[in-house]
Structure 1
Amino acid sequence: MNEEELLKKLREAFSEESRERLASLSSSLLSLEKGVGGEEKARNLEVAFREAHSLKGAARSVNLSEIETICQAVEGVFAAMKRDEINMSGDLFDLLHHSVRMIEDFLAAPEAARPERMGEIASLVSQLQGVQTGREVKVPERKAGGEPGPIEEKTPLKPPPSESVRVSIAKLDSLFFKTEELVTLKLSSDQQLTDLKTIARSIEDWNKRWAEMERHRKALQGMATQGDALDNLDRFLDWNRDFIRTLGAGLRTLTKGSSQKDRTLGLMVDDLLNDMKRVAMLPFSTLLDIFPRMVREISREQGKDVDLRVKGGEVEIDRRILEEMRDPVTHILRNCVDHGLESPEEREKLGKPGTGTIELTVSQVAGGKVEVLISDDGPGIDLAQVKRKAQGLGIMTEQELEALDERDALSLVLRSGVSTSPIITDISGRGLGLAIVQEKVEKLGGLLSLDTA
C-alpha cells in the first residue's frame, strides 16, 4: 500500500470519527445554550473542549490543516469559557454552531472544491480568535418574529455512505463466543457421522453374510434333512438376532444423541442469528442526535424559541429501518417548528411561556415494535380550517364534512394538498408532507396516527 492509498484509508476513518465527535460537540453546545449551571455546565464544557481538541489532533494526523485550524480556534473559545472570560450569549452559540457546520460542509465537499472555502474558513477563524480577545461577535441578525421567511435547507439529513459500521466490543465478543461453541458442536457432529458410517459398514457385512446363507437356503429346498445346512442356518439366525438387536441399540443411542445435539445446535444458531441482528441494530440516538441542532437552526431563522426534548435514545432498531425513518421524523419536526408553534409574541398574549416545547419520545412496545411519539404545545390542528380546505379541493362536500367525527376530520390532513398553514414556506404549507410521511411509515409496516388538543 503506497502513501496515497494509506492517507485515503486514514481519511475515511477520520470522516467516521469526525461525525461522532461533531455530534457530541453539538449536543454539548445545545445543553450549554439551555443555561445549565453547576456541575452539568462544567461537564458539558469539558466534553466540548475535549472533542474540539481530539478532532484537532485527528485532523492534523491526516493532513487536514483547514479543520485543524478551525478546531484550534474553537478550542481556544472553550478554554476561555472555562475560565469565565467570555459571556455565553446567543450570538456566541450561533458562531460555534456555525463552526461545526463549516467543518461538516468542508468534509462533505469534493476535494477539488475545498480550496474555494479557504476565505470562509479564514473569516471564521478570525471571528473565533476575536471572541477570545473580547471583540464583539458578528452574526446575522435574528428575525424578530412575525411572518416566517424562507428556510434554507442546511442540515445534511443523510450522512455520506460508508463501507464500514462501528460495532461495540461486547456484541463482537458475544458473536466470537457463540462461533467457538458452534465449532465444538461441529466436531461432535463429525464424530457422530463417523459412528453412523461404522454402522453402515456393519449393515454391509450383514448383507454379505446373508448372501452366503442364500446358498444354504437353496440347498435345503426339497430336502427334509441336511444337518450341516440346518446347523448353519440355526447359527446364522442366532447371530442375525443378536446383530439386529445390537444395531437397534446403537441406532437408538445415536438417534438420542443426534436429537439432543440438534436442539442444542438450533438454540445456538438462533442465538447467533439474534446477535447478528443486534449487530445490525443501532440506538435511536444515532438518528435523534441531528434533530436538536436542526430544530435550533430553523427556530432561530423563524424568530422562535423552541426547546426540543428527546427521550428514549437508547432504544435499538434495525439500521435499515432507522435510515428510512429519518425523513418522516425530520418532516414532522420541521412542521412543528414552522407552523405548529406560535411566535414568542403570540405565546405571551396567550399566557404561554415564550419558549415552545416539542417532545420526541421513543419507546419499545409489545411485539418488538417501536413507538415514536412527537408532540408540541402549540394551538393544535384547526379542524374547521381543515374541513374548509378539503371542501375547497373538492375532496368532500359540505354535507359529507359535517357528518365526520373528530377522528375522521383529523385524518383529512393526510390527504395530498390539505394544509392548515395560511402561507407556503420552503419547508411546509403545501399539504404534501403528512401524506408522504404516512406513505413512508406504512411502507415500513408501521402505522401513523394523529391527535390534537
Structure 2
Amino acid sequence: MIEDTELREVFKTASEEHLQKLDEGFLYLEKYPHDLTKLEELLREIHSLKGDAAMLGIKDVSQLAHQLEHLLGEITRGKQIISPETSDRLSLGLDAIYKLVQEAVTGEPSGINTVHVLAILMGANNIKTSLQDQDKIHLKSEKTIAISTSVKEQKVAKNTSSPNTQQPEEVAKINESSFTKTEPDENTLTSETPDISSSYHIETVRVSTRNLDFLMTQTGELNVTQIRLFHRLAEIEKITNLWEEWSRDILKNCFLVSGLNVNDHTTINNSTQQFQNYYLQTEERLENLGLLINNLRNSIHEDIAKLDLISRNIGTGVRTLRMLPLSTIFNIFPRVVRDLARQEGKEVKLIIEGGESKADKRIIEQMKDPLIHLIRNAIDHGIETPTERKKSGKNSVATIKLRAENTASQVIIEVIDDGRGLDIEKIKQTAVKQKICSQTELASMTQTEIQSMIFTPGFSTKKFVTEISGRGIGLDVVKANVEELKGNIHIESQLGKGCLIRVILSTSIATINVLIVAVANIYYALPIECVKTTLLVSIESIFTIEGRDTIIFDNEPVSVFPLSDLLNFSAIERDEINEIQENNCIIIQIGNEKLGLFVDDLIDVQNVMLKPQSKLLKRVINVSGATILGTGDVCMILNPQDLMKSAKKLSTSIFSSKFVQQLKVEKVNKKSLILLVEDSIATRTQEKRILENAGYEVITAVDGIDALNKLKIRSFDAVISDIQMPNMDGLTLTTKIRENQNYAELPIILVTSLASHEDKQKGAEVGASAYITKDSFNQEVLLETLKRLV
C-alpha cells in the first residue's frame, strides 16, 4: 500500500483514468484492429501508468504495464495481430493491474500471481486454462475492485445447480462467498456470471475546468442578484416609512374632523359625517395596505437570508472544487534542485513547508514556471559554491526553503535561500549602466525599491550568461505572471545572509473582496488585501517632503495624494478646502511601501465578481478589472501596484497647491525672519540669496550649537537646517528645539544630501516639518514649502 496519503490519492485518480481508457480501447481494437491512431493512444496511456507505478515503487503494476506496452508495441509494428487470444491476454493483464492498483490504494490483498500473469502475456500455452486458474485466484480477494469512475463488470462465481432449484438463502450464501469469504468453496462455485447489481459506485467525477469556470461566474452573478435584492428591500423600507407617515396624517385628520362641534348646522353635520366615513374607509384600506407591505418586507427578509446562505454555500463549494494543494507543484522541485545543483557543482538542500496549503487550479498552473525560475535564479545567482561558503563560515550545504501558507483569503508563497544575498551597490551600478534610472533617482529610493529593480526587464548583475538562468527569461516574467494573477511580489535580502522573495496571491481569482469608494460621484474599488486602514486627515496635519504632501502614520512619513489626481481627473474640481476640514484617507500597503489616497467618500466593503477587461482594453493603467454593483453600475477595480507607480511620477500634489491657493497665503509687509543653519559656506550663501530675494530676512548659523545660541536671543519664524554638521548635527538640533515648549510649533525644514527612506523617517521622528534633499533641490520647492509653513 502506498504510505503517503496524498500520493496515494493522486495515483488513484490518475490510474482510474488510464485504466478506463485502456479498457475501452481494448474493446475498440477487437472491432477495429488496424486503427494505428488508437494503438498509439493506448501506448501512451499504458506508458504513463507504468511510469507512475515505477515512481511510487509499485513493481508488480510496473512490470505488467511494461509487458502490456510491449505487446501493444508488437501489434503496432505488425509483429502481432489482434486475435481473440491476443485480446484475452490484454484483458487478463488489465484485470490483474486493476487488482494490483486496488491493493496499492486500499492495502487489501489482491491475490494476483504476477509471474503467472506475465507468463500468459508473454505467450504461455493453455491460455483458457490459465484464465480459469487466474479467475480462481481473483476470488480469494475479499472484495472485487471498484475503481472510481470506471464501471467495470465484476466476475461472480455461480452455483452449478440450476437457479430454479436454489432457495433465497442459498443465493445469499453464494453472493456472500463471492464477496466476503476468504476461502470460497470451489465445489459449489465452478461457473461465473456477471453481477451488475452490486459493487457499482462512483467515488469521484472528473469535471472540465470550463464547467467550473461557468459555475463560478454564475455564483458571482448570484451574489450580484443578492445585492440587488438588498436594494429592493431598502426601497420597500422607504415605502413602509411613507405608509406609516401617511397613516399618521390620516389618523390625525380623522380626529380633527370628529372633534368639530357643528350641531347647529345640519349641512355641516352631514358633511362631517361624510368626512368621517371617508376617513374610516381610508384608515381601513391603509391598514390592509400596511399588512401587505409588512408581509412583503418580512418575506423578502427571509428570502434574502436564505439566498445569502445558499449563495455562500454554493460559492464555497465551487471554489473548493477548484482548490488544489500546492504540493501538486511543490513535489516536482526536489528533482529540479538536485539536478541544477549538481550541474552547478553546488550542494543544496530543499526544504518544503506548507504543501498542504491550497489555491485555485489556475494559480497553481500559472505559478509553476515562475517558481521554477525563482529556484533556478537562487541556485545560479544566490547560492555560493561549497568552497565559498566554507570561507565565509557557512555550512557547505546551502538551503533553499519553499514555504507556503494560507490566510483567510490569500496564499503566500516564499522562496528563501541562505546564499550571498543581493548586492545593493551592484544593483545600483547595473541600473545606471542599463539606463533604468539615474543617480538622482537612486538617491531618493528606499532599499526595497532598489532591490525590486531586479524585476526590471533585461536586468542582470551577472557578467556572463549561464546554462541555468541565462535563457532569455528574466525575473520580470515572474513579476508579470504574478500581476496577471492580481497578486504582488516583493523581496527582502541581506548581503551575505540570503534572500527572501514573497509572492502574495488571492486564493480565488474569480471573486475579490473590495473597498468601494467614491470620487467625484463615481465609484471605484480597491482590493481589501492592500488596504492597511482608513482615517480622517485634517489639512493642517499635512506637511511637505520633497514637494510631496506627507502625513505621519505609524511613526513614519507616508506620501498622500487625491485619488482623482492619480486617475488624471484634471477637469474635476474638488470641494472647497479649509483648515478644519477632515478628509477621508485610505492607506494602502504593498510590501513595505505605503501610500495615502484621499477620496470623497467610503461606500462599502463587498465580495464582488472580478470581470476581466476585453482584449481591446487588456492593459489599462491603474485598472485591473471591473465588476457590476448591485445597483447595476459598472465599477472599475483599481490596481494598487499601478497607483504606487503613478504616485511616484507626480513630483508634487495638486492637492497641496490648491490648499495654498484657497487659504490665500500671501506675502505680508512684515518680513519673516529665517534662521539658516548650514556649515558649507557655498550652500549657505546660495540659500541665503534665494531666501532674501523672496523677501525673507535671514540670519545664518554655522552649526547646531551656534543656532541654539541665536534662538535664545531672537524670535524666528522658521528654521532651515542641514543635517550633517560639526559640533551638533541637524537631527540633534531639531530634537533640542522641540524639547522647548516655546518652539513646539516652530517650522523646521531639513535640507540635506541624506536621501534614504530611513533618513527621512528619522527626520520625521525628531519633529521636522519638512524634508528636502539636495540632490533634487529646487528653489521653488523650498520657497513653496516655506510659504506654506510660515
Normalised to the residue count of structure 2, the TM-score between the two structures is 0.30
Q: Which has the higher contact order (CA 8 A, sep 6+)?
A: 1
Q: Which protein is richer in helix relative to its size?
A: 1
Q: Which protein is richer in strand relative to its size?
A: 2
Which structure is larger by alpha-carbon Rg, 1 or 2?
Answer: 2
Normalised to the residue count of structure 1, the TM-score between the two structures is 0.49
